[in-house]
Amino acid sequence: MAPFKRRIITSVADAGEISFDRFTAADIPRVARLASLSGSRGCDLTVGGIFLWQSYFRYRRAFVGDTMLLRGVNEDDVSMQAFSLPLGIMPLEQSVSLLRDYCDLTGSHLRFSAVPEERVDELRALGATSVIELTDWADYVYDATELASLTGKRFNKKRNHVNRFRADNPGFELCEMTSDMAPSLLDFMNRLPVDGSKPLMADYERRQVIDLLRDLPDFLQVMEGGVLTTPTDGIVAFTIGEIVGDTLHLHVEKMRHDIAGAGEAINMLFAALSTARHPQIRYINRQDDAGDPGLRRAKESYHPLYRLRKYNVIF
């Protein structure tokens, strides 16, 4: 194979002129539009995947025409700079060349983190020299119809939990999330007990969910949510998702664990509502387990179709 030759991309931008800045709420519609071009079912390059984790992974964005470059850190080593795959219409060859020039100017190596498995060969063809699997960061991808119905013997336990919730809570309701619910949802979050035994990432995620609820009108431009209530207890669970192509990405799912079956009920009812409203949904991405054994067991208990593997790719 002939060695890859880098191109000077003066028609798009000079590497020295690239400015990486923090995301703002005004970026949400633009990021959503670019995310629709990703061609991947991975959760990382979605509005929720970026905005909920932008502080943890130190995400900064640079818009070059109708393409977004995303700088952050390695998912498995936050001390090391890394980029996400660019989102937009710029050919990958051009964006990689631009980022290599940028890294040369800043004295760093070009690394991409959380690259979906189906995109790795494209980067190898452009000169990548190392590919390392992120074993704790694979996304769990499910058949949307299965989660919406829980039919079949392997879902017996899940159905039993949902049926218990139905029996214990006559008059329950799944409501569409609206902006005016933000104060009640914030109160619900603040009342949920904090499990001190969970990893630090769990506390970070909780704080980011609270921040999202404070800016709920901005996020509901591109996301949808469901709120599960009962006549006796009010809000007992809620969830927030984002549809990209044929995939519903579940970014947030919170419930009262003292209400039997609340978690299983919000999961099934929201999947059923979403697939009924959006027939193009074929898959549900419930994200990764970040190496947490408890999360891993919970996600495996819903029988994923497959795990979407991700990689660090180094040039």
The model's pLDDT over 292-311, given as tens digits with 9 standing for 90+, comes to 898 999 999 999 999 999 99
Q: What are phi and psi of 46, to 5 degrees?
A: -120, 170
pLDDT per residue as tens digits for the range 166-202: 999 999 999 999 999 999 999 999 999 988 777 778 8
Mean pLDDT of 112-140: 97
Is the pTM of the predicted complex or chain greater than 0.85? yes
Domains of the chain and any CATH numbers: 15-135 (3.40.630.30), 139-287 (3.40.630.30)
| Residue 274 tokens, joined | 């979403």
pLDDT per residue as tens digits for the range 11-39: 445 777 899 999 999 999 999 999 999 98
- pLDDT recorded at residue 7: 42
Partners of 60 in beta bridges: 71
- pLDDT recorded at residue 194: 87
**In terms of DSSP H, where are the helices of the chain?**
28-35, 47-51, 92-106, 120-125, 144-149, 156-168, 182-191, 200-214, 216-219, 262-277, 293-300
Residues 6+ apart with CB under 8 A from 226: 174, 175, 176, 177, 238, 239, 266, 269, 270, 273
Q: What angle do CA 263, 267, 271 make, to 5 degrees?
A: 170
Answer whether 188's CB lies under 8 Å from 254's CB. yes
Residue 120 pLDDT more than 60? yes
pLDDT per residue as tens digits for the range 245-292: 999 999 999 999 999 999 999 999 999 999 999 999 999 999 999 888
